[in-house]
């Protein structure tokens, strides 16, 4: 089974695909969808939708894990834009019948490091250790997407991964 992690953002949306077989997980690909700041918002959302749709068609994941939006007075504008990005991503998942799961950033940090307030570098290192990746994961949005995918996998019940059932 494949799981896609998505770190939504208007300027940069991180993505990562992890394949799980039994107790083994491997990172298949990761990267970032970038949009230009001077491009109109509807076009930027369209680009993100198209790129995510392409990833879903290419990799056929069974689950999409997307970062939940944190809203505060200080971040209201960014949170609104991130919500719009998530909407474009949800539509892509809906059209291709991919299940979605929202995960809070603190849950990701806690699942991978044991500390809900861990720094980005700690989470990135935990991702590398879990997936046996020797080199630093870049960009940061892709590292976050890998962390999201792993957290989604950790949330699933063990019976979800039984392969080759007999009898």
Determine the Cα–Cα distance for residues 39 and 15; give it in Å rounded to an integer: 21
Query: Tokens standing for 131?
Result: 């997936």
Q: What predicted TM-score, i.e. pTM, was given to this entire model?
A: 0.92
Q: So what's the pLDDT on residue 89?
A: 98
Annotated active-site residue 102? The verdict is no
Classify residue 166: in a domain, yes or no. Answer: no
Which tokens is 133 given?
A: 């990746």
> Is 167 a member of any domain?
no
Q: Does any domain span residue 13?
A: yes
Query: Is 67 a residue of the active site?
Result: yes
Q: Is residue 156 part of a domain?
A: yes
Could you tell me the CATH number of the domain that includes residue 130?
Answer: 3.30.420.10
Q: Is residue 115 part of a domain?
A: yes
pLDDT of residue 120: 93
Question: Pick the catalytic residue: 49, 51, 124, 144?
Answer: 144
Residue 141 annotated in active site: yes
| Blockwise average pLDDT, block size 10, the chain, 167 residues | 97 97 92 98 98 98 93 75 96 97 96 95 97 96 98 85 46
Does residue 79 sit within a domain? yes
Catalytic one among 49, 51, 67, 124? 67
Residues 49, 51, 124, 141: which is the catalytic one?
Answer: 141
**What is the count of structural domains for the chain?**
1
The range of the structural domain enclosing residue 128 comes to: 2-161
Largest CA distance in the chain: 59
CB 145, CB 137: distance < 8 Å: no
Note the pLDDT of residue 75.
Answer: 72
Nearest Cα to Cα of residue 161 among 22, 6, 43, 27: 22
In a domain, 119, yes or no: yes
Instruction: Return the pLDDT at 167.
Output: 36
Question: Which member of 7, 49, 51, 124 is catalytic?
Answer: 7
Helix ranges (DSSP H) in the chain = 41-59, 76-95, 105-113, 120-131, 140-155
Judge whether 135 counts as a catalytic residue. no
């Amino acid at each position: 089974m494949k799981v896609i992690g998505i770190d939504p953002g208007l300027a940069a949306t991180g993505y990562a695909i992890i394949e799980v077989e039994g107790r083994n997980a491997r990172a298949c690909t990761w990267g970032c969808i970038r949009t230009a700041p001077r491009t109109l918002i509807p076009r930027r959302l369209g680009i993100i939708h198209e790129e995510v749709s392409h990833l879903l068609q290419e990799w056929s994941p069974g689950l999409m894990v997307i970062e939940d939006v944190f809203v505060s007075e200080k971040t209201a504008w960014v949170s609104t834009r991130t919500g719009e990005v998530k909407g474009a991503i949800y539509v892509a998942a809906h059209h291709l019948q991919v299940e979605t799961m929202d995960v809070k950033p603190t849950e990701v940090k806690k699942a991978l490091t044991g500390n809900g307030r861990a720094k980005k570098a700690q989470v990135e290192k935990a991702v590398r250790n879990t997936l046996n990746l020797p080199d630093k994961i870049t960009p940061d949005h892709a590292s976050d997407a890998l962390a999201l995918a792993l957290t989604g996998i950790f949330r699933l019940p063990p019976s979800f991964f039984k392969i080759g059932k007999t009898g």
